[in-house]
Every structure is written in structure tokens, then in C-alpha cells.
Amino acid sequence: STLPCNSNGECFTVDDYVQMADESDSIARRMFEKTSKDSRRMSLIEAWTLLRHLSNITSTARNTTRGRKIIRILSGHDITLEPLIQLLSINHRIPTHYSSRVVFEVSFEIQAD
């Protein structure tokens, strides 16, 4: 599908999008410096529910019967991902790229009695 054009035939391009995303990144970084205590606190508050849920999933998996494998797939949006990756100090672009993802893979062996 083509990108939108105006009545003069001037069309929005991928370069236009990249330029807009770079400007958004610049504005967001000025508003919420990564080193700011308030920014880190906001990210922690926003990411807390997801991190707590991941912790509960891990605890549940550890307490399941032997041999049982569990896969949990959680989905979110950039509004969910942004605070999480900022809190984890992962270098990224603001706004996050479409199709961005964070994968947590937890593997452990249940000891036999």
C-alpha cells in the first residue's frame, strides 16, 4: 500500500517517517532524560505490573509437577514496552520501532526427589 499524498501529488515517504521519529525521539529525550530520577520512577511504576506478573509466572512454573513445560506469551504495545526497556536501561529509539519486542526466556531444571 502506498503512503498518503496530498492534492499536489507530494507523498509522505519512509524518509519523512524516519525524520519524524527522530524528532519525536529528540523531544522525548529532552522531556524525560534517562538519568532523571523522576523518569526512572515513572518507568518503574509503569513496568511494575508486568515485572510482577513475570515473577509470578516464574514462581508458578518452578512449583509445577516434574516434566511439565509451560510457555507464556504476553503481548503489549509501545506504551507497555517503553517503560520496561527504559527501566532495564536498554538503548532504544523513542518511539520504539513497530514490531519491537522483548523476550524473557526462563529455563530451569526441577530436581527429582
Cis peptide before 83 (omega within 30 of 0): no
CB 40 within 8 A of CB 87: yes
The dihedral built from the CA positions of residue 75, 105, 90 and 88, taken in this order, carries a sign that is positive
When the pLDDT of each residue in the chain is averaged and rounded to a whole number, the result is 76
pLDDT tens track for 27-71:
776 666 656 777 777 778 888 888 888 888 888 777 775 666 677
**pLDDT at 17 (0 to 100):** 86
CA dist., res. 59 & res. 45, Å (int): 21
- Which residue would you say has higher pLDDT here, 40 or 11? 11
Q: What is the dihedral of CA 18, 78, 76, 49, to 10 degrees?
A: 160
Residue 3 reports pLDDT greater than 60: yes
User: Is pTM beyond 0.85 here?
Assistant: no
DSSP run (H or E) holding 18:
helix 14-31
